């Protein structure tokens, strides 16, 4: 005998089944600890700096499409010492403020394709010590912001690093040469070097109540497009 449920009951059953189906989504995650090394060529000499960082990729809970993804990005910017008390900083964010650029570059470099079933195996299959290298022309769309300071004691002296600005500010021929990534043991300590080099990060002016800009401005009276680099960049570009 077949029983037909009344409409209200059918609605409840349908919602319950949908909830069960959605509960199965968003359970996959993978964490990788890695060493990110950046290279900058200064007057023909390769200078490098590295930072041990960690990224956790997780399916977005209850994603109907299965393509939702969140990234928990832990760690600092990479510092490349170029001499005479100057450093080049490869930041966590891009110029627009979008984050996880170093983590995104690492995933692209290792060739891990997220979103497909079993994607976490791509990270798990990488042995400790596995390395990869990526060139600047392969980083389109995920290039982190690269900056330096005319004086590292003056936050608002920040400028974006390009061959032209390195020449005009420091009088050197320079360019970003690329990055290397290495999977390391989860026991490897995360790098903590930024605060020792830029101790004023905890003292920079507050902008409103949440954004810590290197040089304060007032959003209601200034369009974001008119803000200087120092007014756009905050402490979270340098560390989590």
- What confidence score (pLDDT) does residue 144 get? 95
Q: Where are the domains of the chain?
A: 28-237
Average pLDDT over residues 210-234: 72
Of 9-18, 141-150, 169-178, give the lowest mean pLDDT range.
Answer: 9-18
The count of other CB atoms within 10 Å of the CB of residue 52 is 19
User: Which range among 17-26, 65-74, 209-218 shows the weakest confidence by mean pLDDT?
Assistant: 17-26
HSE of 155 in the Cβ direction (CA atoms, 13 Å)?
A: 23
Greater model confidence, 107 or 70:
107
Q: Is the pLDDT of residue 57 over 90?
A: no
pLDDT tens digits, residue range 159-212? 999 999 999 999 999 999 999 999 999 999 999 999 999 999 887 765 554 556
Res. 135: pLDDT tops 50: yes
Note the pLDDT tens digit of each residue in 86-128. Answer: 999 999 999 888 888 999 999 999 998 876 666 778 888 999 9
Rounded CA-CA distance 119/122 in Å is 6
For residue 212, what are its two tokens?
């810590």
**pLDDT at site 11:** 41
Q: Is the pLDDT of residue 131 over 90?
A: yes
pLDDT of residue 47: 97
Average pLDDT, the chain: 82
Of the listed ranges 43-47, 73-77, 134-138, 140-144, the one predicted with least confidence: 140-144
Q: Percentage of the chain with pLDDT > 90?
A: 55
Residue 158 or 114, more confident: 158
Q: Is residue 222 pLDDT above 70, yes or no?
A: no
């Amino acid at each position: 005998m077949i029983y037909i449920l009344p409409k209200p009951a059918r609605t409840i059953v349908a919602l319950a089944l949908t909830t069960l189906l959605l509960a199965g989504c968003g359970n996959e995650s993978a964490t990788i600890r890695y060493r990110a090394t950046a290279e900058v060529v200064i007057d023909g000499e390769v200078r490098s700096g590295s930072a041990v960082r960690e990224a956790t990729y997780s399916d977005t809970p209850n994603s109907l499409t299965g393509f939702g993804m969140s990234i928990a990005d832990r760690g600092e910017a990479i510092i490349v010492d170029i001499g005479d008390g100057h450093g080049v900083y490869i930041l966590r964010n891009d110029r627009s403020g979008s984050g996880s650029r170093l983590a995104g570059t690492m995933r692209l470099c290792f060739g891990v394709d997220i979103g497909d079933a079993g994607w976490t195996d791509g990270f798990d299959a990488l042995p400790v010590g596995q390395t990869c290298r990526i060139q600047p022309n392969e980083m389109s769309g995920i290039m982190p912001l690269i900056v330096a300071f005319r004086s590292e004691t003056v936050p608002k002296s920040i400028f974006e690093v390009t061959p032209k600005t390195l020449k005009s500010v420091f009088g050197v021929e320079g360019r970003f040469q690329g990055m290397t990534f290495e999977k390391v043991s989860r026991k490897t300590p995360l790098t903590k070097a930024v605060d020792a080099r830029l101790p004023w990060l905890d003292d920079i002016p507050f902008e409103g109540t949440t954004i810590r800009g290197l040089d304060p401005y007032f959003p209601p009276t200034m369009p974001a497009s008119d803000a200087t680099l120092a007014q756009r960049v905050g402490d979270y570009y340098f560390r989590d």
